[in-house]
Chain A
Amino acid sequence: MTVILNQSFTGISIGAVLLLIALGLTLTFGQMGVINMAHGEFIMTGAYTTYVLQKSISDAGLSLLVALPVAFLVAGAMGVLLEWLLIRRLYTRPLDTLLVTWGVSLMLQQLARDIFGAPNVQTHAPDLLTGNISVGGGITLANSRLFILALALLCVLALTLILRLTPLGRRIRAVVQNRDLAEVSGIATGRVDRMTFFIGSGLAGVAGVALTLVGPIGPTTGTNYIVDAFLVVVVGGIGQLKGSVLTAFVLGVLQSVLEYSTTVSVAKVMVLVAIVAFLQWRPQGLYTLRTRSLA
Chain B
Amino acid sequence: MTTTTSPVPTAVTEPSVTLRERLRVPGGFVLGAVLLLGVAPLVLSDFRLSLLAKYLCYAIVAVGVSLAWGRGGLLVLGQGVFFGIGGYAMAMHLKLADAAATGQTLPDFMQLYGTGDALPWWWQPFAYPGFALAATVLLPMAVAALLGFFIFRRRVKGAYFAILSQALAAALAIWLVGQQATTGGTNGLTDIQGFFGYDLDDPVNQRMVYVVIAVVLLLLMAVARQLFVSRYGELLVAVRDSEERVRFLGYDPANVKLVAYVVAAGMAGLAGALFVPAVGIISPALIGIVPSIGFVIGAAVGGRASLVGAVLGALVVAWAQSTLSDAFPAGWTYFQGLLFIVAVGFLPGGLASLFAVVRDRRTRTPKGETA
CB of A106 closer than 8 Å to a CB of B: yes
Q: Which residues of B contact A106 (CB under 8 A)?
A: 333, 336-337, 340
**A-contact bits for B150-191, CB 8 A (1 contact / 0 none):** 110111111110111011101110111111000000000000
25 A-B contact pairs sorted by A residue (CB < 8 Å) = A33-B2, A95-B158, A96-B348, A99-B340, A100-B344, A105-B337, A106-B333, A106-B336, A107-B333, A110-B333, A234-B163, A238-B1, A265-B174, A266-B178, A269-B171, A269-B174, A275-B164, A276-B164, A279-B151, A279-B160, A279-B164, A280-B150, A283-B154, A283-B155, A295-B2
Among B170, B175, B344, which residue has its beta carbon within 8 angstroms of that of A99?
B344
Contact between A104 and B344, CB atoms less than 8 A apart? no
Among A103, A275, A277, A280, which residue has its beta carbon within 8 angstroms of that of B339?
A103
Q: Spell out A's residues near B (CB within 8 Å).
A: 29, 33, 35, 86, 89-90, 92-96, 98-100, 102-107, 109-110, 113-114, 223, 227, 230-231, 234, 238, 263-266, 268-269, 272, 275-277, 279-280, 283, 293-295
Contact between B156 and A283, CB atoms less than 8 A apart? yes
Q: Which residues of A contact B6 (CB under 8 A)?
A: 93, 95-96
CB of B15 closer than 8 Å to a CB of A: no
Q: How far is the CA of A110 from the CA of B337 in the complex (A)?
A: 10
**A-contact bits for B337-365, CB 8 A (1 contact / 0 none):** 11111001100100000000000000000
Q: How many A-B residue pairs have CB under 8 A?
A: 141
Could you tell me which residues of chain B, from 237 to 279, have a CB within 8 Å of some CB in chain A?
A: 243-244
Contact between B348 and A227, CB atoms less than 8 A apart? no
Contact between A107 and B171, CB atoms less than 8 A apart? no
CB of B289 closer than 8 Å to a CB of A: yes
Closest to A102 in B: B293
Q: Which residues of B contact A293 (CB under 8 A)?
A: 2
Q: How far is the CA of A231 from the CA of B163 in the complex (A)?
A: 7
Q: Which residues of B contact A94 (CB under 8 A)?
A: 1-2, 4, 158-159
Contact between A265 and B178, CB atoms less than 8 A apart? yes
Closest to B176 in A: A265
Chain B residue total in the interface (Cβ 8 A): 54
Q: Which residues of B contact A238 (CB under 8 A)?
A: 1
Q: Which residues of A contact B164 (CB under 8 A)?
A: 234, 272, 275-276, 279
Q: Which residues of A contact B158 (CB under 8 A)?
A: 94-95
Q: A102-B340, A269-B175, A276-B150 are in contact. List 8 more A-B contacts (CB 8 A).
A: A33-B159, A93-B7, A94-B2, A95-B162, A98-B77, A279-B156, A283-B155, A283-B156
Q: Which residues of B contact A29 (CB under 8 A)?
A: 159
Contact between A295 and B339, CB atoms less than 8 A apart? no
CB of B75 closer than 8 Å to a CB of A: yes
Contact between A268 and B3, CB atoms less than 8 A apart? no
Contact between A276 and B147, CB atoms less than 8 A apart? yes
The 3 A-B pairs with the shortest beta carbon distances in the complex, nearest first, are A265-B178, A103-B340, A107-B337
Give, as a whole number of angstroms, the nearest-CB distance from B73 to chain A: 8
Contact between B330 and A114, CB atoms less than 8 A apart? yes
Q: How far is the CA of A238 from the CA of B1 in the complex (A)?
A: 8
Contact between B341 and A227, CB atoms less than 8 A apart? no
Contact between B341 and A264, CB atoms less than 8 A apart? no
Q: How far is the CA of A275 from the CA of B300 in the complex (A)?
A: 29
Contact between B171 and A98, CB atoms less than 8 A apart? no
CB of B47 closer than 8 Å to a CB of A: no
Contact between A100 and B340, CB atoms less than 8 A apart? yes
Among B167, B171, B348, which residue has its beta carbon within 8 angstroms of that of A93?
B348
Give, as a whole number of angstroms, the nearest-CB distance from B108 to chain A: 23
Closest to B331 in A: A110
Contact between B337 and A276, CB atoms less than 8 A apart? no
In this complex, the member of A33, A227, A280 whose beta carbon has the largest number of chain B beta carbons within 10 angstroms is: A227
Contact between B340 and A272, CB atoms less than 8 A apart? no
Q: How far is the CA of A7 from the CA of B139 in the complex (A)?
A: 36
